[in-house]
C-alpha cells in the first residue's frame, strides 16, 4: 500500500524563504496580521487531515467507485467519503480562504492552495467534490447579485452546499459556442432551462445537502456562437424565501461515466428538464462569469498534478531505497546484502530526480500564482492589481498545461521505478498514473492552453506581458551574473531569455502569414515558456539555498535543493533546444499530409 507525508518543510521554504509571503501580506490590509506561525500551524493541521483522513480512502474509493440509482437519480459515493466530507466541514476547511462577510476565515489564497495540494496528493477524486465549489463561489462572488450572494455564498463557504460548473455538452466540449441548452424566461424573472450536459464533475452526490450548479445556456433570441451564451445558477433543490430547502429542481444525473481514473469522483451526465434558474450577470455575457470559475479551475488542475507528482515521488523514493537488484556499476554499495538498492543506479536516480524537480518547481510556481491572484483581488494599489492580473493571465495556461504534462511524465516514471510491481494495483502507483491523465484533458486540453498562451496572451499584446516576466529574469541575472556558484543556474536562463524574443517574433511573423503556423508551434512553445518559468524559480531557489549554506546553515535541506536544481538545469532544461527546433520546423509537415489521411 502507498504512503504519504505532507511536504511541509518545502512548503515553508517556498512561502517564507523564497517568496516571503508574510511580507507581501503586510501590504494588504485584510491579511496584514497573518504571520508565519499562523500559516505553518494551519498547514500542519491540514496535512494531518489529508494524510490521516483522506489518504486511507484513496485506494478503496478507486476500487469501489460511485453508484447511481436509476430510479431516484441519486449517486452514492464510496464508503467513507461522506464521513470524510463531514469532518472537512466540521473542521472549517471549506471556509479557509473565503470572505469573512459570508462566514469565511479570510486566510490568504496561498494557504488554501498549499492545503489543496496535500488534499490532491492524498485523494484527488475526493478533493474534486469540495474543490469545484471554490470556483463556483468565486464566480458568484464576482458576478452574482446581492440577493444571489446572500442566498448561496454562506452555505457554500461553510461547505453545507457544494458547487459545479456545467459547460460541456455531448456534441461540444471546448467550442462552447456550439452549445444548445436553452433558457426560457418566465414571468417571475426566473428561467426554465432545458438541455443535456456531460462530464460534470461532482454533478450529483450524497455528501452535501444541496448542489449549486452554474449552467451555460442560450436565451431564445441569443446571437449565434459564444456571444450568445448566458450564465445561470441552478440549485439541485429550490430555495425558499427563508433560506430553507424547497422542492427538487428539474436537474438530475442521467448517467455516470466509467473512467480510466478518478473513479471515485462522480462524473455525471446531467439532464436539465425545465430546471428553474436565475441569470448570473448580463444576458449573453455568460462567459465573463464562467471564466472566473474556469481560470480558478485551471489553477486547481495544475495543483492536482502537483499533488500526484509529490505522492508518486515519495513512494518511488521509498521503494528505490528498499528494493535490491544487481550491483552498482561503480562497485558494490551494500556489502551486507546480496544486491544493491536500486537507488544506486543512475537511471533510477534520473527518474526520481525528474519527479522531484517537477514537484518542487511546480510548488514554487503555484505559490507565486496564488500570491498574484491575492494581489489582483486585494491589493490597495490599482497598478499592483493590474500588473498582478496580467502576469497571472500569462502564467495560468503554463500552470495548467506544463505542470500537468510534467505530472503525467513524473507519475509514469515513478511507476517505472517499481518495475513490474508498479503495474500491479496493490502498490498504488498505477492509480496515480491513471488519475493524472485526465488533468491534461479537462478544463481546456493542453493544446487549447498552448494556443491561448501563444495566440492570446503573448502575440495578442505583442509580447508585452512576456517582456515583464523577462524583466524578472533579467533582474536575477544582473544580481547573480558574477557569482560563480550561481553560473550553472543563471547562464541557461539568461541565454533562453535572450532567445525567447527572437523565437517569439519569428513564430508570430510566420503566424501572421499563415495562422496554422501558430497552431503547429503552440504546444512546443508552451513547454519552452514553461521551462523558462521553472528555470527562473529553480535559479531563485538555488540562490536562497546557497546563501543559507554560505552562512553556515547545516540543514541538509539546502544541499538537496541545490543538487535538485543542478539536475534540473543539466537534464531537463535542455529540452528547450529541441522544442525550439521543432516549433520552427513549421506547419507544412503537419498540414501537407492529405494523402496520409485519404
Using CB atoms within 10 Å of the CB of residue 426, give its burial: 0 to 12 exposed, 13 to 18 middle, 19+ buried.
Answer: exposed
Clarify whether residues 47 and 138 are in a common domain. yes
Q: Which one of 241, 264, 284 terminates a domain?
A: 284
Q: Which one of 266, 284, 302 terminates a domain?
A: 284
- Residue 182's DSSP bridge partners are 194, 218
In terms of residue numbers, what domain contains 87? 8-143
Using CB atoms within 10 Å of the CB of residue 262, give its burial: 0 to 12 exposed, 13 to 18 middle, 19+ buried.
Answer: buried
Phi and psi torsions of 379, nearest 5°: -75, 140
Clarify whether residues 457 and 512 are in a common domain. yes
SS3 call for 453: helix
SS3 call for 561: helix
Q: Which of 443, 480, 517, 548 is catalytic?
A: 443
* Distance from C-alpha of 34 to C-alpha of 31, rounded to nearest angstrom: 5
CA dihedral over 422, 428, 434, 436, signed as positive or negative: negative
Q: Per the domain annotation, does 313 fall within a domain?
A: no
Residue with cell 509580447: 463
- Residue 277's DSSP bridge partners are 191
* Distance from C-alpha of 511 to C-alpha of 556, rounded to nearest angstrom: 49
Element (H, E) at 537: helix 516-550
* Distance from C-alpha of 134 to C-alpha of 128, rounded to nearest angstrom: 10
Clarify whether residues 116 and 231 are in a common domain. no
CATH label of the domain that carries residue 213? 2.40.110.20
- For residue 132, CA distances in Å to 77, 91, 144, 184, 210 come to 16, 19, 17, 27, 14
Clarify whether residues 173 and 135 are in a common domain. no
Nearest CA to 1 out of 411, 427, 425, 310 is that of 427
**Joined grid coordinates for residue 70:** 436509476
pTM of this prediction? Answer: 0.98
Q: Per the domain annotation, does 438 fall within a domain?
A: no
Phi and psi torsions of 482, nearest 5°: -100, 5
- Contact criterion met (CB below 8 Å) for 210 and 237: yes
Clarify whether residues 86 and 185 are in a common domain. no
Q: Per the domain annotation, does 597 fall within a domain?
A: no
Residue 72 CB contacts under 8 Å (≥ 6 apart), including other chains: none
For residue 94, the 8-state DSSP code is G
Q: Is 443 a catalytic residue?
A: yes
| Confidence (pLDDT) at 289 | 87
| CB atoms near residue 337 (< 10 Å) | 11
Clarify whether residues 114 and 241 are in a common domain. no
User: What is the number of domains present in the chain?
Assistant: 3
Clarify whether residues 217 and 82 are in a common domain. no
Clarify whether residues 135 and 167 are in a common domain. no
Clarify whether residues 168 and 257 are in a common domain. yes
Mean pLDDT for each 10-residue chunk of the chain (598 residues)? 97 98 97 98 98 98 98 98 98 97 97 98 98 94 97 98 96 89 98 98 98 97 95 98 97 98 98 98 92 90 98 98 97 97 98 99 98 96 97 97 98 98 97 98 96 97 96 97 96 97 96 97 98 98 98 98 98 98 97 97
**Joined grid coordinates for residue 561:** 535543493
Nearest CA to 195 out of 224, 174, 219, 175 is that of 219
Amino acid at each position: 500500500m502507498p504512503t504519504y507525508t505532507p511536504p511541509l518543510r518545502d512548503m515553508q521554504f517556498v512561502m517564507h524563504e523564497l517568496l516571503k509571503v508574510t511580507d507581501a501580506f503586510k501590504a494588504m490590509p485584510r491579511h496584514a496580521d497573518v504571520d508565519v506561525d499562523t500559516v505553518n500551524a494551519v498547514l500542519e493541521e491540514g496535512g494531518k487531515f489529508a494524510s490521516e483522513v483522506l489518504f486511507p480512502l484513496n485506494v478503496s474509493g478507486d476500487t469501489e467507485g460511485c453508484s447511481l440509482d436509476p430510479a431516484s437519480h441519486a449517486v452514492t459515493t464510496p464508503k467513507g467519503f461522506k464521513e470524510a466530507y463531514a469532518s472537512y466541514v466540521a473542521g472549517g476547511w471549506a471556509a479557509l480562504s473565503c470572505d469573512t462577510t459570508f462566514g469565511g476565515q479570510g486566510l490568504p489564497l496561498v494557504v488554501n492552495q498549499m492545503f489543496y495540494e496535500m488534499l490532491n496528493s492524498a485523494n484527488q477524486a475526493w478533493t474534486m467534490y469540495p474543490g469545484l465549489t471554490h470556483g463556483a463561489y468565486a464566480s458568484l462572488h464576482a458576478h452574482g447579485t446581492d440577493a444571489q450572494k446572500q442566498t448561496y455564498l454562506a452555505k457554500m463557504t461553510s461547505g453545507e452546499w457544494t458547487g459545479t460548473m456545467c459547460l460541456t455538452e455531448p456534441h461540444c466540449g471546448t467550442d462552447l459556442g456550439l452549445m444548445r441548452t436553452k433558457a426560457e424566461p418566465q414571468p417571475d424573472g426566473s428561467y426554465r432551462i432545458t438541455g443535456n450536459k456531460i462530464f460534470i464533475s461532482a454533478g450529483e452526490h450524497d455528501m452535501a445537502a444541496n448542489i449549486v450548479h452554474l449552467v451555460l445556456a442560450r436565451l431564445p433570441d441569443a446571437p449565434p456562437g459564444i456571444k450568445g451564451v448566458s450564465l445561470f445558477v441552478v440549485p439541485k433543490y429550490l430555495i425558499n424565501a427563508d433560506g430553507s430547502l424547497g422542492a427538487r429542481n428539474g436537474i438530475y444525473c442521467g448517467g455516470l461515466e466509467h473512467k480510466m481514473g478518478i473513479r471515485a469522483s462522480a462524473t455525471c451526465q446531467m439532464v436539465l428538464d425545465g430546471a428553474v434558474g436565475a441569470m448570473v450577470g448580463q444576458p449573453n455575457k455568460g462567459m465573463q462569469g464562467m471564466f472566473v470559475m474556469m481560470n480558478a479551475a485551471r489553477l486547481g488542475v495544475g495543483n492536482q498534478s502537483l499533488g500526484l507528482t509529490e505522492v508518486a515521488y515519495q513512494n518511488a523514493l521509498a521503494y528505490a531505497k528498499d528494493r535490491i537488484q544487481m550491483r552498482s556499476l561503480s562497485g558494490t554499495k551494500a556489502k551486507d546484502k546480496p544486491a544493491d538498492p536500486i537507488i544506486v543506479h543512475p537511471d533510477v536516480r534520473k527518474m526520481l530526480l525528474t519527479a522531484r524537480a517537477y514537484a518542487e518547481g511546480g510548488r514554487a510556481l503555484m505559490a507565486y500564482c496564488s500570491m498574484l491572484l491575492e494581489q489582483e483581488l486585494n491589493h490597495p494599489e490599482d497598478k499592483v492589481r493590474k500588473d498582478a492580473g496580467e502576469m497571472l493571465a500569462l502564467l495560468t495556461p503554463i500552470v495548467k498545461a506544463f505542470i500537468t504534462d510534467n505530472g503525467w511524465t513524473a507519475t509514469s516514471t515513478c511507476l517505472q521505478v517499481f518495475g513490474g510491481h508498479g503495474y500491479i494495483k496493490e502498490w498504488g502507483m498505477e492509480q496515480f498514473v491513471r488519475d493524472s491523465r485526465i488533468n491534461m484533458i479537462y478544463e481546456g486540453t493542453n493544446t487549447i492552453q498552448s494556443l491561448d498562451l501563444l495566440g492570446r496572451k503573448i502575440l495578442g499584446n505583442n509580447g508585452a506581458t512576456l517582456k515583464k516576466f523577462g524583466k524578472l529574469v533579467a533582474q536575477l541575472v544582473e544580481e547573480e551574473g558574477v557569482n560563480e556558484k550561481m553560473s550553472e543556474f543563471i547562464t541557461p536562463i539568461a541565454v533562453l531569455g535572450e532567445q525567447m524574443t527572437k523565437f517569439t517574433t519569428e513564430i508570430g511573423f510566420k503566424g501572421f502569414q499563415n495562422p496554422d503556423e501558430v497552431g503547429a508551434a503552440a504546444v512546443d512553445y508552451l513547454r519552452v515558456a514553461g521551462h523558462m518559468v521553472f528555470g527562473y524559480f529553480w535559479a531563485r531557489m538555488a540562490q536562497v539555498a546557497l546563501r543559507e549554506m554560505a552562512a553556515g546553515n547545516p540543514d541538509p535541506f539546502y544541499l538537496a535543493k541545490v543538487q535538485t536544481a543542478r539536475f534540473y538545469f543539466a537534464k531537463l532544461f535542455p529540452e528547450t533546444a529541441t522544442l525550439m527546433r521543432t516549433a520552427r520546423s513549421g506547419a507544412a509537415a503537419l498540414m501537407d499530409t492529405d494523402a496520409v489521411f485519404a
